[in-house]
């Protein structure tokens, strides 16, 4: 009964498009603990599940950034369909998207990566797409054009790809990410 009451209250307090799960447990003193950070403690149970990334984001028009994508893809010698596939998978065309891990903007650039690609305003579509294209180019050079490794590195970081002997790291999120981007990329190439 108490759990149902807590869930009802949480339902009223949480926005409809929550970005992360909510976890809770009752300690030996009867105090109910609630957090939105995935706990290591096995006593916690899921109150509200994480939403899939694409459901969390209010996306824009999938074609509204095509001119910027074409401009920055060409400047970096990339296929615009690849840049667009990454952008759609990352943010669903939402220029204000922020991931749970801190990635920002259309191309979901992490702050440390942003410094490497000289990204000053991650929420400016032009700057963000430019930075994302520049980063994809760096990864293509690093992984000799192997699209799966480039995408895995974009998602999990190049260090993880290198640590796993130049293969896609065995991380569920990364494996799914590579599949999703490749599927979108193929569809975009075939629709041109």
Helix (H/G/I), strand (E/B), else coil: 129:
helix
Q: What is the CATH number of the domain that holds 106?
A: 1.10.530.10
Is residue 56 a part of any domain in this protein?
no
The pLDDT value recorded for residue 46 is: 67
The pLDDT value recorded for residue 100 is: 87
Helix (H/G/I), strand (E/B), else coil: 62:
coil
Claim to verify: residue 72 and residue 159 sit in the same structural domain: yes
- Residue 80 has which token pair? 């615009």
Of 29, 42, 90, 173, which one is the catalytic site residue?
A: 90
Claim to verify: residue 100 and residue 15 sit in the same structural domain: no
Is residue 61 a part of any domain in this protein?
no
The Cα 119–Cα 137 span in angstroms is 15
Domain that holds residue 105: 66-190
Claim to verify: residue 42 and residue 75 sit in the same structural domain: no
The pLDDT value recorded for residue 29 is: 81
- Residue 69 has which token pair? 């994508």
Claim to verify: residue 101 and residue 179 sit in the same structural domain: yes
The pLDDT value recorded for residue 44 is: 66
Claim to verify: residue 20 and residue 71 sit in the same structural domain: no
127-132: long-range pairs with CB below 8 Å, 24+:
128/95, 128/104, 129/65, 129/68, 129/69, 129/72, 129/83, 129/87, 130/68, 130/72, 130/75, 131/107, 132/72, 132/83, 132/86, 132/87, 132/90, 132/106, 132/107, 132/108
The pLDDT value recorded for residue 71 is: 98
Q: Which residues pair with 48 in a beta bridge?
A: 22
Domain count for the chain, please give it: 2
Claim to verify: residue 6 and residue 94 sit in the same structural domain: no
Compute the residue count for the chain: 192
Is 90 one of the annotated active-site residues of the chain?
yes
The pLDDT value recorded for residue 37 is: 67
Helix (H/G/I), strand (E/B), else coil: 190:
helix
- Residue 179 has which token pair? 């599949």
Backbone φ and ψ of 71, nearest 5°: -60, -50
Is residue 171 a part of any domain in this protein?
yes
Q: Report yes or no: 82 and 178 within 8 Å, Cβ to Cβ.
A: no
pTM above 0.85, yes or no: no
The pLDDT value recorded for residue 14 is: 42
Q: Report yes or no: 134 and 113 within 8 Å, Cβ to Cβ.
A: no
Q: What are the start-end ranges of the H helices in the chain?
A: 2-13, 53-56, 66-75, 80-91, 111-116, 125-142, 147-156, 158-163, 172-190
pLDDT digit string (tens) for the chain, length 192 residues: 544 444 444 444 444 333 456 667 677 887 766 776 666 666 766 666 554 443 444 556 789 999 999 999 999 999 999 999 999 999 999 999 998 889 999 999 999 999 999 999 999 999 999 999 999 999 999 999 999 999 999 999 999 999 999 999 999 999 999 999 999 999 999 987
Neighbours of 3 (CB within 10 A): 12
Claim to verify: residue 84 and residue 109 sit in the same structural domain: yes
């Amino acid at each position: 009964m108490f759990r149902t009451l807590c869930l009802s209250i949480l339902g009223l307090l949480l926005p409809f498009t929550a970005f992360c799960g909510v976890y809770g447990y009752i300690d030996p003193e009867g105090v109910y603990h609630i957090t939105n950070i995935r706990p290591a403690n096995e006593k916690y149970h899921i109150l509200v599940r994480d939403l899939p990334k694409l459901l969390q984001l209010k996306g824009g028009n999938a074609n509204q950034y095509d001119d910027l994508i074409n401009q920055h893809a060409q400047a970096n010698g990339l296929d615009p369909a690849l840049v667009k596939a990454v952008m759609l998978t990352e943010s669903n065309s939402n220029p204000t998207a922020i991931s749970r891990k801190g990635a920002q903007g259309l191309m979901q650039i992490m702050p440390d990566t942003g410094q490497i690609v000289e990204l000053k305003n991650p929420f400016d579509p032009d700057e963000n797409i430019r930075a994302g294209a520049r980063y994809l180019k760096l990864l293509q050079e690093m992984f000799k054009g192997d699209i799966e490794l480039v995408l895995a590195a974009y998602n999990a970081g190049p260090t993880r790809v290198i640590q796993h002997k130049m293969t896609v790291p065995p991380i569920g999120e990364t494996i799914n990410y590579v599949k999703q981007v490749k599927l979108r990329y193929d569809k975009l190439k075939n629709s041109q």
